[in-house]
Amino acid sequence: MDFLIINAMGYPILSAMIFLPLVGALILLCIPGDTAAKYWTMLVTVVTALLSLPLYWNFDATTAKYQFGEHAPWISSLNINYTLGIDGISLLLVLMTTLIMPLCVLGSWRYIDKRVKEFMICLLLMETSMLGVFMALDFILFYLLWEAMLIPMYLLIAVWGGPRKVYASTKFFLYTLAGSVLLLVAIIGLYLDQGTFSIPALMGQDYSTTFQVVVFLAFFLAFAIKVPMFPFHTWLPAAHVEAPTAGSVILASILLKMGTYGFLRFCLPITPEATLIFVPYVLWLSVVGILYGGFTALAQQDMKKLIAYSSVGHMGFVTLGIFVLNQQGLEGALLQMINHGITTGALFFCVGMIYERTHSRELDAAAGLGKYMPVYVSFLAFFSLSSLAFPGTNSFVGEFLILVGAFAHNKIVAAFAIPGAILAAAYMFRMLQRVVWGRPDNPDHSGIADLNLREMATLAPLLIFVFWIGLSPEPFLRVMHVSVTHLIEQVGGLGDAVSVAKLMIP
């Protein structure tokens, strides 16, 4: 257990964060009334968020070990333990999750008008399982939460979704589940090899190359679908378009990060040799994803679809950063995960706010809103700029680091990714231009009210982070340095694989 620093806070902070939403959901079962349900959920998520703050203050950024650790036997006959802990890779993801959830409640305040209580229960269950996934250091605990999350997410789309909710929710469920069944087999394989389900204990072991390749592929399928990487992305636009606003935000901000988190936590340290073998393929897939996402976003009329495809592109940047396997690339990828969560989450909120007013997500129907909603379009403009990685915003830092890392790794791959940044500008400006000014034949928007206080409160925290990370990323990069360095050591240098990579890349 030398990888774990046992929690010394005096109370089990990680468990408290996991179980608070769960208990909140159970109590919510007995609370009558929709308004009470909303306030209660708000309270629970805010308390969870406040509870998560000490994680940052007390985080020791000088060690790559897992901190705030908790360890208790769970299923002793199979040596399954309840082990929790976070390091520099998961810390920011946990904090982002607790930040986004109260905003999701705020953002659904008016949007959800039927079955409010059930909706809020689903949100709380999602929070429990998402936090658990980022904190779990035992494979079975991880897998359990990873899969269990599908149920509330499925219900969020299937019950409160749009007109094609049945198609979208089924597709989402089938894709993600099909991806992860072989993950379970791989986990069992690792267990039988090492006799433990402890994730850190499985890292850096001496597996044969064949075994590593097989395990890597099983991992990769599960995580690539979740990210989603091209060509496994087709469930994403459908799910995003049909999901209610809060569902889209959770999906974009947190769920997608689980795929890339999986790469960082499992693929790289557990199967380093296989990772090196597959690096060139994954890099090219990422580049294809970036370009494909960009071009497709350019052609969308539906704003949610546009942002969904832009996600494919942005997540392509993240996987690119991960698999160049150097300090800048990995740190950039990690930061970009947070950035994407903040910016894309905010953009989905923005689209949701238009939808609440015009009941349409079509770009044409929203054209010219700027005249009546000046505050709204200012928010939208900042988030759009952030999405296209404008200097001074958060995504610029992340994307810049990723591209530095990519150039250091291979100039050709990096050069192919550059148009992605230009495409982002093209499709975001196209959307912004339409929404703010539109054409002379704009639909009549008179009578549409600008943002109210609640909506501003939903967007404002995200805007703060856009500029905070954009102008002073150091507090965020600081916590991940050591863990990323450690991760690179675990993967080892780019030994033999470089030759393979050279064969692939002219």
Q: Please tell me whether residue 213 binds another protein under the rule CB under 8 A.
A: no
Segment lying near another protein (by CB under 8 A), choices 183-191, 200-208, 459-467, 479-487: 183-191
Which of 129, 134, 130 shows the shortest CA–CA distance to 92? Answer: 134
* Spacing of C-alpha 340 from chain mean position: 7
User: Residue 178 corresponds to which tokens in the numbers above?
Assistant: 């099909």
**φ, ψ at 449 (rounded to 5°):** -85, 150
In the list 31, 46, 51, 184, the residue contacting another protein (rule: CB under 8 A) is: 184
In the list 162, 189, 204, 492, the residue contacting another protein (rule: CB under 8 A) is: 189
Segment lying near another protein (by CB under 8 A), choices 177-185, 315-323, 367-375, 405-413: 177-185
- Cβ proximity to another protein: between 188 and 415 the closer is 188
CB atoms within 10 A of CB 57: 6
- Cβ proximity to another protein: between 191 and 292 the closer is 191
Task: Look up tokens 């703050």; give the residue.
Answer: 53
The amino acid at residue 489 is E
Shortest Å distance, C-beta 130 to another protein: 15
x/- string (CB under 8 A) for another protein, residues 71-110? ---xxxxx--------------------------------
* C-alpha R_g of the chain: 22
- Cβ proximity to another protein: between 46 and 158 the closer is 158
- Cβ proximity to another protein: between 137 and 155 the closer is 155
- Cβ proximity to another protein: between 183 and 227 the closer is 183
Task: Look up tokens 């995960």; give the residue.
Answer: 337
Give the separation between CA 323 and CA 485, rounded to whole angstroms. Answer: 14
Contact 490, 272 (CB under 8 A): yes
One DSSP character per residue, 106-174 reads HHTTTT--SSHHHHHHHHHHHHHHHHHHHHB-BHHHHHHHHHHTHHHHHHHHHHH--TTHHHHHHHHHH
DSSP 8-state secondary structure symbol assigned to residue 74? E
Which of 208, 198, 217, 224 shows the shortest CA–CA distance to 74? Answer: 198
x/- string (CB under 8 A) for another protein, residues 39-78? -----------------------------------xxxxx
Query: How many residues of this chain interact with another protein, rule: CB under 8 A?
Result: 33
User: Residue 468 corresponds to which tokens in the numbers above?
Assistant: 């905070």
Shortest Å distance, C-beta 125 to another protein: 11
Q: Please tell me whether residue 181 binds another protein under the rule CB under 8 A.
A: yes
Shortest Å distance, C-beta 221 to another protein: 11
Q: Verify cis geometry, omega within 30 degrees of 0, for the bond prior to 231.
A: yes
In the list 40, 68, 191, 235, the residue contacting another protein (rule: CB under 8 A) is: 191
In the list 178, 299, 422, 460, the residue contacting another protein (rule: CB under 8 A) is: 178
Shortest Å distance, C-beta 119 to another protein: 12
- Cβ proximity to another protein: between 150 and 213 the closer is 150
CB atoms within 10 A of CB 14: 25
User: Residue 40 corresponds to which tokens in the numbers above?
Assistant: 């209660």
Q: Please tell me whether residue 30 binds another protein under the rule CB under 8 A.
A: no
Shortest Å distance, C-beta 12 to another protein: 18
CB atoms within 10 A of CB 136: 25
Give the separation between CA 122 and CA 20, rounded to whole angstroms. Answer: 14
- Residues numbered 117 to 176 that lie near another protein (CB under 8 A) are 140, 143-145, 147-148, 150-151, 154-155, 158-159, 165-166, 169-170, 173-174
Shortest Å distance, C-beta 235 to another protein: 14
Give the separation between CA 83 and CA 139, rounded to whole angstroms. Answer: 9
Shortest Å distance, C-beta 223 to another protein: 16
Coil, strand or helix at 214: helix
The binding site for another protein (CB under 8 A) comprises: 74-78, 140, 143-145, 147-148, 150-151, 154-155, 158-159, 165-166, 169-170, 173-174, 177-178, 181-182, 184-185, 188-189, 191-192
